[in-house]
Structure 1
Amino acid sequence: MTRIDDLPIRDELRGKSPYGAPQLDVAVRLNTNENPYALPDALVDRIAERVRDAARELNRYPDRDAVELRTELARYLTRTAGYKVGVANVWAANGSNEVLQQLLQTFGGPGRTAIGFEPSYSMHALISRGTGTGWISGPRNEDFTIDVAAAEKAIAENRPDVVFITSPNNPTGTAVGSDTVLALYEAAQAAKPSLVVVDEAYAEFSHHPSLLPLIEGRPNMVLSRTMSKAFGAAGLRLGYLAADPAVVDAVQLVRLPYHLSSVTQATALAALEHTDTLLGYVEQLKAERDRLVSELRVIGFEVTDSDANFVQFGRFDGPGGSHAAWQRILDHGVLVRDNDVPGWLRVTAGTPEENDAFLDAVRELKKEQSS
């Protein structure tokens, strides 16, 4: 039987595994940071209306530049992040992963490198490899915050072409302060200069304001966002960026023609019409996230401070480590995420009922560990 490594694939892809989390049929699934609330009926009806209108012209290509959608995304960012951006500052693609891929196709590639501070979003490294960009794993402190001095040193020594900063960080949930982002941006500009990508996929869940205003006067800084989390639209696959207009022009050099379908644009526009309702769900999830943090600490777990819609908890240093704990929680009908961070697991904030089931499961786990 032919294996992947028997094929003439690129050397940097050999021995690697595709990104993915287990998709198991269990009662409570809290492993992929999805928003647990279904879209409201009024929004579903509006999506149907917009898609029906778009369907009448499916014989034509979609708006190649998605101008209406980018205009509404700019309006949303201006309203919620407290910094005015326009259509020229915003670009959209099929999920934030495609946004990141386009950035790496434009600013990375063969002979170039990218750096991220791990553990962090594993797709940064995967997309880097997929675009032929060399990957550098940068340092973090024991508490999962970024060691600024060590990070500045790594940037100075490696002179990367792209720097990734994830805030709130995935899988740890920790936010990154603006002072840290500015310090690393300055280090990156002194070293090369380099593109700095601030991945804000979970920004709406944070206790802290968006880092969007930092793009002012910094043409090599990009902010990446998604509609998968706060908008409860993981199945839509819509991501976007905000940056200097020159960056928006640059990524269009590599984008595929008509990459955003008419249906995708119509659905996203409908969702943006219901921002207030969807952000109301976000407030509920923030409260549930904070409850998980508090309850897990009461039970006796270590918990990383979280600004996202998930919580990292541990430590699992006994036989089998975190994976054995993951399996025991699964045995109780709850699926969480083992991100291969030694001694730690991650749980997504679900509905109150789902979170109760999870907390019951980990209470049983703690009893088993203590017996």
Structure 2
Amino acid sequence: MRWPAHGANPRALYEQCGLAPPDEYIDFSVNTNPYRLPPSAWPSGEEWIRWAGEYPDSEAKALRELVAKQEQIRPGQVLMTNGAAEAIYLLAALFAGRRVGILEPTFSEYRRACLAYGCDVEGFAADEARGFSYDLDEATAWAGKQDIIFLCHPNNPTGTVMEEGELRSLVDAAHTAGTYVIIDEAFYPFWRGGFTAMRWLGRYPRLIVLRSLTKIHHLAGARLGYVAADEAVIASLKTHQPPWSTNGIAQQLALRFMAMESFVKWTKERIAAERERVFRSLPAGRYDVSPSVVNFYLLRPCSGRTEELFFHLLKEGIVPRHTMNFPGLDGRYIRLAVKTQVENDRLLEALERWDG
């Protein structure tokens, strides 16, 4: 069968698998925040209508200033984008035809975007046996041979991170070699006690950080993200970006929700607690999981019968994310989101019922 490129489309997945979708199912393939802001936090009907009828600020000035203030950088170091995906493709266009290294397994759009712009792409594989970590010496030597490297941190789909000193060493060595380092921090807001490379921008002009504003606030349909980098890099990226790339509704929602920092902190705590509970509750000796620190993780049955498990979960109304298009994983794992307690209990019951 032809596996879909991404998750978050359950009905299409059921159709491609030749299964009738059950009356109720839970989408564990989508890795946005399972907790939503209360209705009182959302705009009024009049505000929705007004925003829909107005042209957006093409420079997203107010939003860039808010991001800059929160991240302690300059507004000129920020470019708002139509989701993190647009940021990835803008960067691929900027570095078209260059040598690109990608630390894998990771988000497939880095490779797809770079290949579309004629880049020579080379992957560097994580050590699965060591919790999907990287050999720092080997990674550093490899990075110095590239023009640009992509690193997702925390990583999708493993949910894993590097030690701060290790990542700083990799960035420092790559920068010394003249290599641009692109760190995608789309899932950083879910990481309790984590660190961000955003603080290093002043020291490394060739460091570029990506963020998503839609995952943590459950706004996937609004499409909003940003690039933070040296002002010269931002100026170059802007020449590739269409006008009005970030719509007015998305900008207004972000201005409203980004001020709710207590919600982000609360989410981190809830996600961490639920993830740890799920890991403790898995049937003993039957499943392995990646050492994730965020709102999703990899899981595989110790029996190796991952595809059978995938179809079992679909029939149980649990929609997992396949890993067929993640180099190095090749379908041996499934990716599962950390959801609410009730939803996670449904997953645990389905895993317990499987006889594999």
Distance in structure 2 (CA, Å) of the matches to 1:269 and 1:50: 13
What letter is aligned with 2:154? Answer: P
**Structure 1 stretch displaced more, 197-206 or 274-283:** 274-283
* Pair 329,65 (structure 1): closer, same or farther in 2 beyond 3 Å: same
**Secondary structure, in 3 states, of the residue corresponding to 2:134?**
coil
Report the count of equivalent residues. 335
**Structure 1 stretch displaced more, 134-143 or 20-29:** 20-29
Q: Give how far 1:72 is off.
A: 1.6
Does 2:194 correspond to 1:205? no
Residue 150 (structure 1) aligns with: 138
Residue 328 (structure 1) aligns with: 312
**Secondary structure, in 3 states, of the residue corresponding to 2:321?**
coil
Residue 61 (structure 2) aligns with: 67
Does 2:91 correspond to 1:103? yes
**Secondary structure, in 3 states, of the residue corresponding to 1:235?**
coil
Distance in structure 1 (CA, Å) of the matches to 2:310 and 2:182: 32
**Secondary structure, in 3 states, of the residue corresponding to 2:105?**
coil
Contact 2:76–2:231, Cα closer than 8 Å, also in 1? yes
Q: Give how far 1:50 is off.
A: 4.2
Contact 2:82–2:245, Cα closer than 8 Å, also in 1? yes
Contact 1:96–1:224, Cα closer than 8 Å, also in 2? yes
Residue 353 (structure 2) aligns with: 364
Within 5 A, what are the aligned runs for 1:10-89? 19-21=5-7, 22-24=9-11, 25=21, 26-45=24-43, 48=45, 50-58=47-55, 62-76=56-70, 78=71, 84-89=72-77
Contact 2:297–2:335, Cα closer than 8 Å, also in 1? yes
* Pair 236,316 (structure 1): closer, same or farther in 2 beyond 3 Å: farther
Residue 4 (structure 1) aligns with: none
Distance in structure 2 (CA, Å) of the matches to 1:67 and 1:310: 33
Q: Give how far 1:250 is off.
A: 1.9
Distance in structure 2 (CA, Å) of the matches to 1:131 and 1:50: 40
Contact 1:226–1:238, Cα closer than 8 Å, also in 2? yes
Q: Give how far 1:91 is off.
A: 1.5
Contact 1:164–1:197, Cα closer than 8 Å, also in 2? yes
Contact 2:286–2:303, Cα closer than 8 Å, also in 1? no
TM-score for both structures, normalised by structure 1: 0.83
Contact 1:64–1:260, Cα closer than 8 Å, also in 2? yes
What letter is aligned with 2:318? Answer: V
Moved over 4 A (4+): none
**Secondary structure, in 3 states, of the residue corresponding to 1:285?**
helix
Contact 2:191–2:268, Cα closer than 8 Å, also in 1? no
Distance in structure 1 (CA, Å) of the matches to 2:46 and 2:165: 45
Q: Give how far 1:317 is off.
A: 4.4
Residue 259 (structure 1) aligns with: 245
Distance in structure 1 (CA, Å) of the matches to 2:96 and 2:59: 24
Distance in structure 1 (CA, Å) of the matches to 2:48 and 2:256: 9
Contact 1:139–1:151, Cα closer than 8 Å, also in 2? no
Does 2:279 correspond to 1:293? yes
Residue 12 (structure 1) aligns with: none
* Pair 140,248 (structure 1): closer, same or farther in 2 beyond 3 Å: same
State the identity %. 26
Contact 1:299–1:363, Cα closer than 8 Å, also in 2? no
**Secondary structure, in 3 states, of the residue corresponding to 1:270?**
helix
* Pair 274,55 (structure 1): closer, same or farther in 2 beyond 3 Å: same
**Secondary structure, in 3 states, of the residue corresponding to 2:352?**
helix
* Pair 65,323 (structure 1): closer, same or farther in 2 beyond 3 Å: same
What letter is aligned with 1:53? Answer: R
* Pair 359,218 (structure 1): closer, same or farther in 2 beyond 3 Å: same
What letter is aligned with 2:35? Answer: Y
* Pair 29,235 (structure 1): closer, same or farther in 2 beyond 3 Å: same
Unpaired runs of 5+ residues, structure 1, are: 1-15, 79-83
Distance in structure 2 (CA, Å) of the matches to 1:315 and 1:117: 25
* Pair 297,223 (structure 1): closer, same or farther in 2 beyond 3 Å: farther
TM-score for both structures, normalised by structure 2: 0.86
Q: Give how far 1:39 is off.
A: 3.5
Distance in structure 1 (CA, Å) of the matches to 2:80 and 2:271: 26
RMSD value over aligned CA atoms?
2.2
* Pair 361,169 (structure 1): closer, same or farther in 2 beyond 3 Å: same
Distance in structure 2 (CA, Å) of the matches to 1:245 and 1:290: 40
Residue 108 (structure 2) aligns with: 122
**Secondary structure, in 3 states, of the residue corresponding to 1:45?**
coil
**Secondary structure, in 3 states, of the residue corresponding to 1:311?**
strand
